[in-house]
DNA sequence: GCGCCAGCCTTACGTTGTAAGTGCGACCGA
DNA sequence: TCGGTCGCACTTACAACGTAAGGCTGGCGC
């Protein structure tokens, strides 16, 4: 019994070479199965998924070509047959993240119940992705966009087009739709980046901060911060998101009629 | 252009050792001058300033301990006498950036002309810093904050305290002040991050995008994006910032009275 | 004169991304 | 059945990185 769960220094789960438990590989192939060995075939999607999983577990800095190779049961250089380099790999992870949006059944591709419902669903979908992968989400912001007007976190032509087309269908003028696009992306990026960042630094439940920081706060200086420390630590991100989104939509209603 | 550290022979401009042009060093010292050689004394502030300048010119990926050392005329390891490591160096650069805020004569430390004026000035001050250092500003967002409630881009106790105290003076309740703090930081972060990111990707004036992207756009798919491409490329960040900020302040007025 | 020590340099190690070449197994036309 | 080709992983190698450890030097106090 190797790999006892309590002791391993590296939690990676390499699939273990497993000296081919299949007695007759040809038979398996004939039977319609894929590769007989449990070492499943490598491909770009599997690599990207592994990279995302690795980031979720170890953080961005923990992702290394060698470590990623090890995780998928392969030497680092083998990855380069499927991915041109590390930069492109990270871009692929970002694509994967926004790809999750398409799979989300609660996110609509066009405003079938009004534009407010459309944007509400989209915003919540993006937030779900961000919260599901807090360590990876900053990538969505930090990767250079393919075009200056392809703004995170809506980083694909597909979604930008869906966004704009959707609003146009709903009576937005060209200018209003573009303005709404800019406001919406700024809002999502700022809010979600701060929310996942708080999650990352979320070590203890509250009150526990660095000593020197605590000293600074406690000492008469910064008295207000000290007094409000509990309010500041209190996490009401979900309802705040709701409120701020609602307020944004109200503002967009104005934009819609003013620039109509 | 950079990012691949493999080939460039480094175009840095080292100040040139300059074999001590001063004939009598003691005389210079007596005369009240600093170190006689033009190789000025190294210290933490000079290192941080050089690091910021380097990031401004070469980008974040271009900053290396060796290159930074070379820039200040010193071997890489000498930097470690003043800075514990690269992480702390980057934190120092962030401090330096927010330190610029304190120097800004248009930014007030307390609301002497009403809280709206106070926040307006603060917001514009932060935006000025972001635009002055577009390559470095993302650092403000990506460095892990010292405490979860110390939200970028207001990353120091000093400013958070000033913010909260200021609003309390102006009639905000505790809850309203904290809520305003959260909204304000989200707004600034999202807006400015996207603005500097657009500046970074700003290669040509407009229309020039990657070929494959252009193909995707041009081909019947994404027809709306294609049609609105000029509106999308049109940069009205300044006035949009103004409008969005105004709208935020209006909303905070409501928060102030509702949670009052 | 002597030792101390701040400040810088040198050397060295482990790790990173990746260019280049090697080797092996599966397929395929003869 | 046999080479030949080729896809795919492995091996080796290199430059650059962050940084640990220690060495030199020149100006200071005693």
pLDDT at residue B61, as a whole number:
95
d(CA B24, CA A45): 69
d(CA B13, CA B21): 20
Query: Which of B146, B164, B185 has the CB atom closest to A228's CB atom?
Result: B164
Q: Which nucleotide is nearest, taking the CA of residue B75 and each C1'? A: C9
Residue in B closest to A228 by C-alpha: B174
Lowest mean pLDDT among A218-222, B74-78, B139-143: A218-222
Mean pLDDT, residues A13-38 taken together: 39
d(CA A130, CA B185): 18
pLDDT at residue A148, as a whole number:
84
Mean pLDDT, residues A226-234 taken together: 92
Give chain A's mean pLDDT.
84
What CA–CA distances, in Å, run from A44 to A79, A94, A146, A237, B104?
8, 14, 20, 35, 50
Q: What is the dihedral of CA A16, A18, A22, A27, to 10 degrees?
A: 50
Chain B contact set for A141 (CB, 8 A): 138, 141, 193, 197
* Nearest by Cα to A197 from A137, A141, A110, A112: A137
User: Half-sphere exposure (CA, 13 Å, Cβ side) for B171?
Assistant: 11
CATH class of A25-83: mainly alpha
User: Half-sphere exposure (CA, 13 Å, Cβ side) for B257?
Assistant: 5
Mean pLDDT, residues A191-197 taken together: 96
- Give yes or no for A47 touching B (CB within 8 A): no
pLDDT at residue A59, as a whole number:
95
A135 Cβ neighbours under 8 A, 6+ residues apart: A55, A56, A59, A60, A196, A200
Which bases of chain C come closer than 7 Å to a protein CB? 7-11, 15-21, 26
| Binary contact (A186, B185; C-beta < 8 A) | no
Which spans in chain B are helix H?
A: 25-30, 44-58, 65-71, 86-103, 115-132, 137-142, 157-169, 174-200, 211-218, 223-227, 229-233, 237-258
Distance from residue A55 (CA) to nucleotide D12 (C1'), in Å? 29
DSSP B208-234: ---HHHHHHHHSSTTHHHHHTHHHHH-
DSSP B73-105: TS-GGGGGGT-S-HHHHHHHHHHHHHHHHHH-T
pLDDT at residue A209, as a whole number:
59
Distance from residue B26 (CA) to nucleotide C1 (C1'), in Å? 22
Residue in A closest to B210 by C-alpha: A146
How would residue A68 be classed by pLDDT, with cut points 50, 70 and 90? very high
Is pLDDT above 90 for B180? yes
CA B97 to chain centre: 5
Residue in A closest to B139 by C-alpha: A142
Does strand D come within 7 Å of the CB of B67? yes
Q: Could you say which residues from 80 to 99 on chain A have a Cβ atom under 8 Å away from some Cβ of chain B?
A: 87
pLDDT at residue A17, as a whole number:
37
pLDDT at residue B20, as a whole number:
34
How would residue A89 be classed by pLDDT, with cut points 50, 70 and 90? very high
Site from B199, B230, B232 to mutate, A interface, most A CB atoms within 10 angstroms: B232
Q: Domain segments of chain A: what residues? A: 25-83, 106-258
Is pLDDT above 90 for B208? no
In eight-state DSSP terms, residue A149 is T
Is pLDDT above 70 for B203? no
- Give yes or no for B197 touching A (CB within 8 A): yes
Residue in A closest to B165 by C-alpha: A224
CATH 1.10.357.10 fits B106-258, yes or no: yes
pLDDT at residue B19, as a whole number:
34
pLDDT at residue A220, as a whole number:
73
How would residue B29 be classed by pLDDT, with cut points 50, 70 and 90? very low
How would residue A21 be classed by pLDDT, with cut points 50, 70 and 90? very low
Is pLDDT above 50 for A204? no
| Binary contact (B225, A164; C-beta < 8 A) | yes
* Nearest by Cα to A252 from A191, A175, A193: A175
Instruction: Encode pLDDT of A115-162 as tens digits.
Output: 999 999 999 999 999 999 999 999 999 998 888 889 999 999 999 999
How would residue B183 be classed by pLDDT, with cut points 50, 70 and 90? very high
Is pLDDT above 70 for A92? yes
d(CA B231, CA A104): 30
pLDDT at residue A14, as a whole number:
39
d(CA A217, CA B194): 32
Instruction: Encode pLDDT of B94-145 as tens digits.
Output: 999 999 999 999 999 999 999 999 999 999 999 999 999 999 999 999 998 8
Cβ-based contacts (< 7 Å) between B 20-59 and strand D: 25
Lowest mean pLDDT among A40-49, A73-82, A183-192: A40-49
Select the more confidently predicted residue: B2 or B150: B150
Length of chain A: 260
How would residue A207 be classed by pLDDT, with cut points 50, 70 and 90? low
Distance from residue A84 (CA) to nucleotide C22 (C1'), in Å? 21
Does strand C come within 7 Å of the CB of A63? yes
Is pLDDT above 90 for B14? no
Q: Could you say which residues from 137 to 166 on chain B have a Cβ atom under 8 Å away from some Cβ of chain A?
A: 138, 141-142, 144-149, 151-152, 157-158, 160-161, 164-165
pLDDT at residue B36, as a whole number:
40
Is pLDDT above 50 for B175? yes
Q: What percent of chain B has pLDDT over 90?
A: 69
Instruction: Encode pLDDT of B210-227 as tens digits.
Output: 666 666 666 678 899 999
Does strand C come within 7 Å of the CB of B41? yes
Q: Which nucleotide is nearest, taking the CA of residue A69 and each C1'? A: D9
Residue in A closest to B190 by C-alpha: A190
Give chain B's mean pLDDT.
83
For residue A76, the tally of other CB atoms under 10 A from its CB is: 13
Distance from residue A22 (CA) to nucleotide D3 (C1'), in Å? 29
pLDDT at residue B259, as a whole number:
86
| Binary contact (A209, B160; C-beta < 8 A) | no
pLDDT at residue B65, as a whole number:
98
For residue A146, the tally of other CB atoms under 10 A from its CB is: 17
Tracing tokens 């000035």 back to the chain, one arrives at: B121
| Binary contact (B185, A190; C-beta < 8 A) | yes
Structure tokens at B232: 């999308």
Q: Could you say which residues from 205 to 224 on chain A have a Cβ atom under 8 Å away from some Cβ of chain B?
A: 209-210, 213, 216-217, 221-224
d(CA B151, CA B188): 11
What CA–CA distances, in Å, run from A62 to A56, A57, A208?
10, 9, 25
Chain B contact set for A198 (CB, 8 A): 148-149, 151
d(CA B166, CA B109): 8
Is pLDDT above 70 for A40? no
| Binary contact (A149, B213; C-beta < 8 A) | no
Give yes or no for a contact between A193 and B190, defined as CB atoms under 8 angstroms apart.
yes
How would residue A8 be classed by pLDDT, with cut points 50, 70 and 90? very low
pLDDT at residue A2, as a whole number:
35
pLDDT at residue B148, as a whole number:
85
């Amino acid at each position: 019994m190797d790999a006892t769960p309590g002791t391993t220094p590296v939690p990676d789960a390499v699939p273990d070479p497993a000296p081919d438990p299949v007695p007759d590989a040809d038979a398996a192939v004939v039977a319609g199965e894929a590769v007989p060995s449990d070492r499943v075939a490598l491909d770009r999607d599997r690599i990207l998924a592994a990279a995302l999983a690795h980031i979720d577990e170890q953080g961005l800095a923990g992702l290394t070509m060698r470590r990623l190779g090890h995780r998928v049961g392969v030497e680092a250089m083998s990855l380069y047959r499927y991915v041109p380099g590390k930069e492109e790999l990270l871009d692929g992870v970002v694509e994967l993240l926004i790809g999750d949006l398409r799979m989300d059944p609660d996110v609509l591709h066009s405003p079938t119940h009004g534009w407010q419902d459309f944007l509400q669903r989209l915003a919540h979908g993006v937030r779900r992705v961000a919260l599901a992968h807090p360590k990876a989400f900053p990538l969505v912001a930090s990767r250079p966009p393919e075009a200056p007007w392809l703004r995170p976190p809506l980083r694909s032509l597909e979604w930008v087009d869906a966004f704009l087309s959707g609003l146009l269908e709903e009576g937005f003028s060209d200018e209003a739709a573009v303005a709404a696009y800019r406001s919406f992306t700024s809002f999502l990026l700022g809010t979600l980046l701060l929310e996942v960042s708080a999650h990352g630094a979320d070590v203890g439940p509250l009150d526990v901060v660095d000593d020197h920081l605590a000293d600074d706060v406690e000492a008469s200086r910064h008295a207000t911060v000290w007094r409000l420390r509990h309010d500041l630590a209190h996490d009401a991100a979900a309802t705040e998101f709701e409120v701020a989104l609602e307020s944004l939509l109200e503002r967009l209603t104005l934009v819609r009629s003013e620039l109509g």
